[in-house]
Chains A and B, each alone.
Chain A
Amino acid sequence: MNTLTTRTPLATYVVRHADDNVILGQRLAEYISRAPELEEDLAVANFALDHIGVAQHLFAYASAVEGDGRDADALAMLRSEREYTNLLLVEQPHADFAEVMARQCFFDAYQVLLWRRLSASTDETIAGVAQRAVKEATYHLRHSSGWVVRLGDGTDESHGRMQHAVDRMWRFTGEMFEGDDLDREMAALGVGVEPADLEEEWQATVDSILEEATLTRPADPYQATGGRRGLHTEFLGRLLAEMQWMQRSYGGLTW
């Protein structure tokens, strides 16, 4: 299957980052009204809103770049499962609050580095989105890493659950730093970044969080891959079935 989800490399590049954000936003949205405290319902809603906001901007840009009439919502909601290019991490469901925060923390640590670099993109639109998103991601990371630490270094039960969550999400983290031809092309143009360039700092950030949380860095060397090529876990299809339901059931209407 073609790795280009749109007609142009730039739009395809933009869409993969939009996909990361819309899918995680959708996962977080599932959790609203289910958090351990009202404050966390607020925080989770806030994160969901930020991710969906980033996705809105990026899809709108991809739509403009692609220029063949597919609007942001069509890109977000009317592609097939194999055309979504988000990281596998963000589509993972959460069994408890520890998994919500482990997934979030790993992704936030990556997003901070990604958006910081993309803030200097030669593409003005990407740079503009990145400059806003880096502030949001920094705030998200403070919150999510705060919970990883509190739960890791809390009670025996929370320590066990947090370790389990870290172990469960860990094998979806390596994919963040895999690059493909499109990444190299975009990096060469000064538009994008080489994912591998972010890895060292990500590892350092996450190591220090895990250490403070008294958690063990998983030894599991196996890392799953495929998201950027549209090869997903079985979880994505069900998420999409729900997210796309209105657009699929009532084609071509205005809401």
Chain B
Amino acid sequence: MSEHAGRARFAAIIEADEKVEPRDWMPDEYRANLIRQMAQHAHSEVIGMQPEANWITRAPTLMRKAILIAKVQDEAGHGLYLYSAAETLGVSRDELQEMLHSGRQKYSSIFNYPTLSWADVGAIGWLVDGAAIVNQIVLQGTSYGPYSRAMVKICKEESFHARQGYSIMMALVEGSDEQKAMAQDAIDRWWWPALMMFGPHDAESSHSERSMAWKIKRIKNDDLRQMFVDQTVPQAHYLGLTIPDPDLEFDEETGHWRIGEIDWDEFWRTIKGDGPLNRERIAHKVKAWEDGRWVREAATEYARKQRARLGKSA
């Protein structure tokens, strides 16, 4: 197909709300934009394993331990799906990891915050996975086929993540004063960072407009954030927790909860590398990767020997 025909077909696919597939012609910037977004998404799944893995060995009961392991295992699986979906765009997982390690690609800033108590594991499932679900449900409708299908698969598992988080919070608020305080402390620290997960106001988002036009992105950052706020505020009230926002109020006219202003300085500072644990998260990841180098080399070498042996016997 000539580039001219390809371009026309691409435009038609987007226009008709159909899916762009790996073999279809696509604009270079569309490809680059997708690679950036999908890689960032995959990296977030993988880096996101760390704050929760921090509590697996200290989980209070065997049941909670097992559920948390299963959740972290799911996140590793999500990372895998997303890396393979990104690979359909002509980049390798190793290249993408390299860009994560060198800081050229980012991951969700939320994972730069520390998990300081068991309640944080609940807050992450409830708020962070909750926010991720809002985002990911919409991304099922994204224009790139492999990304959309990865989202469908992932969304099925995410609802379990949010539920287990909410269930941890529920047990805490039904528990002792100490447990309630732990739950309140967790929402105090995680509420604002969770709202920041939806990104800056659309006017300040460098990729937003083009992504909307290409239907990679279907709903604006502020609208997604509003969806999350509207679904989460009643849950917090049900738990008997106070949301750390003095300006929060219900707008009778629109039926939406209105939040106060997000601390955008903190948002940009964390994105630029100066959040509480940015350096540690990357260092942990790089160390695992470097420590595993000899293992990966050995697997490659063993596979080579096996091929040679099979070749000889054939």
Contacts and interface: CB of A to CB of B under 8 A. Distances in A.
Interface of A: 22, 25-26, 29-30, 32-42, 45-46, 48-49, 52-53, 55-56, 59, 72-73, 76-77, 96-97, 149-151, 153-155, 157-158, 161, 242-243, 245-247, 250, 253-255
Given A37-B292, A158-B298, A32 B305 contact: no
Consensus secondary structure, chain B interface = helix
Question: 4 closest A-B pairs (Cβ-Cβ)?
Answer: A36-B292, A154-B298, A158-B298, A45-B73
A250 B171 CA distance: 14
B62 A55 contact: yes
B294 A253 contact: no
Given A49-B73, A153-B305, A243 B58 contact: yes
Given A76-B62, A97-B292, A255-B171, A30 B57 contact: yes
A45 B294 contact: no
Nearest to A39: B80
A255 B118 contact: yes
A29 B49 CA distance: 12
Contacts of B179: 250, 253
Interface in B131-189: 168, 171-172, 174-176, 178-179
A36 B56 contact: no
11 contacts: A29-B57, A30-B57, A33-B49, A35-B292, A37-B296, A38-B80, A49-B70, A97-B295, A150-B299, A158-B298, A253-B175
Given A37-B296, A158-B295, A255-B168, 11 more contacts: A29-B65, A30-B57, A32-B69, A40-B292, A45-B76, A46-B73, A150-B299, A153-B302, A253-B179, A254-B174, A255-B171
A32 B49 contact: yes
A124 to B, nearest CB: 22
Interface of B: 46, 49-50, 53, 56-66, 69-70, 72-73, 76-77, 79-80, 83, 118, 168, 171-172, 174-176, 178-179, 284, 287-289, 291-299, 301-302, 305
Nearest to B298: A154
B285 to A, nearest CB: 8
Contacts of A30: 57
A155 B299 CA distance: 9
A32 B62 contact: no
A54 to B, nearest CB: 11
Contacts of B172: 255
A49 B297 CA distance: 28
A255 B287 CA distance: 33
B72 A52 contact: no
Contacts of B69: 29, 32, 45, 48-49, 52
Contacts, number: 142
A37 B70 CA distance: 18
Nearest to A245: B58
B57 A26 contact: yes
A246 B298 contact: no
A252 B59 CA distance: 15
B296 to A, nearest CB: 6
B49 A254 contact: no
A34 B57 CA distance: 14
Contacts of A48: 69
A115 B49 CA distance: 32
A42 to B, nearest CB: 5
B299 A34 contact: no
Given A36-B292, A41-B49, A97-B295, A254 B171 contact: yes
Interface centre among B77, B79, B288 (most CB of A within 10 A): B288
A246 B295 CA distance: 35
A154 B301 contact: yes
A32 B60 contact: no
A150 B66 contact: no
A186 to B, nearest CB: 24
